[in-house]
Chains A and B, each alone.
Chain A
Amino acid sequence: MQVSSPQDYLPIIIQFALALGFVVLSMIASHAIGPKRKAKIKDEQWECGIESVGDARAPISIKYFLVAILFVLFDVEVIFMYPWAVNFRYLGWIGFVEMVIFMGFLLTGYFYIIKKGVLNWE
């Protein structure tokens, strides 16, 4: 294995400095060169379009939250399918039965959610 020495990182540092320099420079330049107009209408979030009402932190229905949370739960369980899929042939029928049991447990959870009416939008 090739061991890298500190000098090898020099190009990365140069690249990093250049990127940072460009950002700083362009921000200063746009601030210095650009025109400045201050007015009530200019300071609005949106200069044209429908006038904004209230702030962005309006309460959102709990339904969205529930669905998002359930998605996280069921989505992550898929990671257990990957090792099984990769070793499908090696694990054979025992692996299949174990996976069916696992999916069965997940499905009972899903049935519970449906019966509780969590996914009902009306």
Chain B
Amino acid sequence: MQIPEVMRTVPLEYYLFFSTALFVIGVLGVLTRRNALVIFMSVELMLNAVNLLLASFSSYRQDSVGQVFVFFIMAVAAAEVTVGLAIIVMIYRNTKSIDVQLLNRLKG
């Protein structure tokens, strides 16, 4: 059995609910966590929820463009990881902390 057929043995709504749940967990993580790394991981979770959603739509519609988009999201996410971790390391070297609550010098 081809992989898209295997994916279709689970109804589409299940994928929809599952990736929405993952996405919401990611959003909650971004909004409630204080550690920059954990926030960053939550963002990655959001992106992966979207990837899953795209892959399932793609297999249900038998249209490969959705999977191509997943590739692009993965590549861009890697670039984002690179820049994001570089920023976090830069801040850690200057302040010895990555708690976002301590970053409140800019006020107004």
Using a CB–CB cutoff of 8 Å, the interface residues on chain A facing chain B are: 1-3, 62, 65, 69, 72-73, 75-77, 79-80, 83
24 A-B contacts (beta carbon < 8 Å): A1-B8, A1-B9, A2-B9, A3-B11, A65-B85, A65-B89, A69-B82, A69-B86, A72-B81, A72-B82, A73-B78, A73-B79, A73-B82, A75-B78, A76-B74, A76-B75, A76-B77, A77-B75, A77-B78, A79-B71, A79-B74, A80-B75, A83-B68, A83-B71
Main secondary structure of the interface of B (DSSP, over half): helix
Nearest CB in chain A: distance from B66 CB, A: 13
Q: What chain A residues lie within 8 Å of B71 (beta carbons)?
A: 79-80, 83
Contact call A72/B78, Cβ cutoff below 8 A: yes
Beta-carbon nearest neighbor of B92 in chain A: A59
Using a CB–CB cutoff of 8 Å, the interface residues on chain B facing chain A are: 8-9, 11, 68, 71, 74-75, 77-79, 81-82, 85-86, 89
Q: What chain B residues lie within 8 Å of A76 (beta carbons)?
A: 74-75, 77-78
Q: What chain B residues lie within 8 Å of A79 (beta carbons)?
A: 71, 74-75
> A69–B77 Cα gap in the complex (Å)?
13
Nearest CB in chain B: distance from A12 CB, A: 14
Beta-carbon nearest neighbor of A79 in chain B: B71
Nearest CB in chain A: distance from B74 CB, A: 6
Beta-carbon nearest neighbor of A77 in chain B: B75
